[in-house]
Structure 1
Amino acid sequence: MPELYVGERHWSVTSGSNLLDALNQAGVAVPFSCRAGSCHACLVRCEGKVDDQQPEALSPTQRQQGWRLACQCRVSADLKVEAFDPQRDGLPAQVVGADWLSSTVLRLRLQPERALRYSAGQHLVLWAGQVARPYSLASLPQEEPYLEFHIECRQPGAFSDAARQLKVGEPLRLGELRGGALHYDPDWQSRPLWLLASGTGLGPLWGVLREALRQDHQGEIRVIHLAHEAEAHYLTKPLAALAAQHGNLTVELWTAAQLQPALAQLRLVSRQTLALLCGHPASVEAFSKRLFLAGLPRNQLLADVFLSSPSNL
């Protein structure tokens, strides 16, 4: 059986074991979220042979330095592992804003030690001490000097619990900047653009929407936000203000009780429509099914799914 070495510890694991599971089951706290190789929260440095199921998820430079995504690796031989250390490997940042957009959504604004070049729709792993979780950026690149995140605090969670206590001036650490499926392409300028979100899935689409408007998008833009109840539509006023300024933008606010009849009435106005989806898996699936039934080609739908916070985050 192969041996895992972490610091002064070492123990045997079954050959073929998932590296993330083997570490966490032994008490080595490696954060994770998606388990799909997208969020990069489970980044670890390895010395030794490991079967990597998704080597393309990291850059050649990262791989040469020994970095791997624990969720995508299986242990096949003796392996030395070093967890990502936010104090050593993370980018320092400072809280410059922490206010509530609703009773459950915290708007967190951070100023990194050095400027980050990013695109609307990308995400970062945020570290509060040793607690980590990936969050999508809601800020507008090149236009806003801070990084903005919309954090859902309706349910308890290690990171959201820590985020509730954050004050202006407090330090955090940032992990790697990652690009998900969501973005705005200038080549889309004349095409209908639909942005469908549930919960704080609206955050990255808020950034994408403003990027599209900044680039003078000419086609129809339709924003649909699904929330548990009317009070949970946390960007109602800013969205209404943008709709008042841009004649090609319409905003629809749906509640869970309205979802099925609203979906049934969803019709495409053009086969050229592009749809960007973000939020809870069930909501994204419901949106996707209806859009496919309405005739939207699969390659014209881009989606990011927000998974529930695991217990160790």
Structure 2
Amino acid sequence: MPEITVGQRRWAVAAGANLLDALNAQGLNVPYSCRAGSCHACLVHCLRGEPRDNQPAALDAGKHAEGWRLACQCQVVEDLSVAVFDPATDGLPARVEACDWLSPEVLRLRLQPSKPLRYQAGQHLVLWTESGVARPYSLASLPQEDRFLEFHIDCRHPGAFVDVAKDFRLGDHVRLGELRAGALRYDPDWQDCPLWLLAAGTGLAPLYGILREALRQRHAGEIRLVHLARDARQHYLASELSTLAANHPSVRIERVLPEDFSQALAGLRPSSRRVHALVCGSPASVEAYSKRLFLGGVPRNQVLADVFTGREGGGYQS
């Protein structure tokens, strides 16, 4: 049986065991969400030995060559020495600056890191509670405009992180894990192209940051933001989005409910193949948006999507 070594700990596992499960069975608290190689929350560093990687292309070639692996996608087939993230020593301390409800189900969390954090709109961070619970969440803030880090947490269902987050108070502390880039971003080369931002639920969080980044960079093409919500009360950030649309004639905001979703999808008819679309939300909503864009003639390489699994607060998140 192969053995895994983490620091001073060493134990045997069955050949072919999932690396993420093997680590967490020993209480190492490696965070995860999607288990599909998308969120990158379960990143670990293989110092010696080589696991069987079922999705090597999920990481960039340089990071993969350095020994970094997504634990959820790896099987233990030989002895491994692995380094995992230790929030006590590797995490960046941050203080809760604000915690309020954007809707009956969406909690807005604003954090002040102990030192400035360089990031871009659309990226995400793993947040660690003081009790050792970790989950990845997308950033809704914009570094050039906000002095805090903002996250939108879907609290519809109970969960280890959600239950702690709902009781956060001003001055409480969390630790920030590694900053990671998902699929979503704003590219200045899109400046003159139509930009469609298609969200469901708290998939709005990273797209809100990207919308503001596009406006900051004086995006010249039309910007269309569509937000699908479970009911009218869940169309959060309504005032902020309406203000942006009022101040920027090129911005169009559409709020959609489930009973109108089919009609809204039918209305996604691009007048140009130059449309760039960013999609974020649940697997079903992302699939529906993406299928409609494909049928509408938007090239696949012009559709960027991040999927929120719905486990723990709306995302891999998200």
Same fold by TM-score greater than 0.5: yes
CA deviation vs aligned residue, 1:32-70 (integer Å, no higher than 9, x gap): 112244433223344430225238727858975x65432
Which residue matches 1:32? 32
* C-alpha deviation, 1:186, in angstroms: 1.2
Distance 1:21 1:310 in 2: 18
Which residue matches 1:236? 238
Which residue matches 1:123? 124
Percentage of matched positions with identical amino acids: 61
Q: Does 1:13 align with 2:50?
A: no
Which residue matches 2:184? 182
Q: Structure 2: where are the runs of 5+ without partners?
A: none
Is the Cα contact below 8 Å between 1:58 and 1:68 reproduced in 2?
Answer: no
> What SS does the aligned partner of 1:169 have?
coil
Amino acid at match of 1:244: A
Distance 1:70 1:204 in 2: 25
Amino acid at match of 2:169: K
Q: 1:261-300 residue pairs with structure 2 within 5 A?
A: 261-300=263-302
Distance 2:141 2:312 in 1: 26
Q: Structure 1: where are the runs of 5+ without partners?
A: none
Distance 2:237 2:58 in 1: 36
Is the Cα contact below 8 Å between 2:37 and 2:58 reproduced in 1?
Answer: no
Counterparts in 2 of 1:133 and 1:63: CA distance versus 1, 3 Å = farther
Q: 1:87-106 residue pairs with structure 2 within 5 A?
A: 87-106=88-107
Counterparts in 2 of 1:16 and 1:293: CA distance versus 1, 3 Å = same
Which residue matches 1:192? 194
Q: Does 1:201 align with 2:209?
A: no
Amino acid at match of 2:94: A
* C-alpha deviation, 1:167, in angstroms: 1.1
Distance 1:183 1:269 in 2: 23
Amino acid at match of 1:17: A
Distance 1:309 1:131 in 2: 14
Which residue matches 2:225? 223
> What SS does the aligned partner of 2:51 have?
strand
RMSD of Structure 2 on Structure 1 (CA): 2.3
Is the Cα contact below 8 Å between 1:40 and 1:176 reproduced in 2?
Answer: no
Calculate the TM-score normalised by the size of structure 1: 0.92
Is the Cα contact below 8 Å between 2:92 and 2:176 reproduced in 1?
Answer: yes
Distance 2:121 2:204 in 1: 12
Amino acid at match of 2:175: R
* C-alpha deviation, 1:125, in angstroms: 0.5
Distance 2:305 2:101 in 1: 26
Counterparts in 2 of 1:294 and 1:55: CA distance versus 1, 3 Å = closer
Among candidates 240, 247, 253, match of residue 245 of structure 1: 247
Which residue matches 2:42? 42
> What SS does the aligned partner of 1:50 have?
coil
Larger deviation: 29-38 or 243-252? 29-38
Larger deviation: 11-20 or 276-285? 11-20
Distance 2:108 2:233 in 1: 16
Counterparts in 2 of 1:93 and 1:14: CA distance versus 1, 3 Å = same
Amino acid at match of 1:276: L
- Number of matched pairs: 311
Counterparts in 2 of 1:128 and 1:118: CA distance versus 1, 3 Å = same
Is the Cα contact below 8 Å between 2:275 and 2:298 reproduced in 1?
Answer: yes
Which residue matches 1:108? 109
Counterparts in 2 of 1:79 and 1:306: CA distance versus 1, 3 Å = same
Is the Cα contact below 8 Å between 1:41 and 1:132 reproduced in 2?
Answer: no
Among candidates 255, 259, 270, match of residue 257 of structure 1: 259
* C-alpha deviation, 1:94, in angstroms: 0.9
* C-alpha deviation, 1:76, in angstroms: 2.0
* C-alpha deviation, 1:228, in angstroms: 0.5
Calculate the TM-score normalised by the size of structure 2: 0.90
Which residue matches 1:70? 71
Is the Cα contact below 8 Å between 2:123 and 2:206 reproduced in 1?
Answer: yes
Which residue matches 1:301? 303
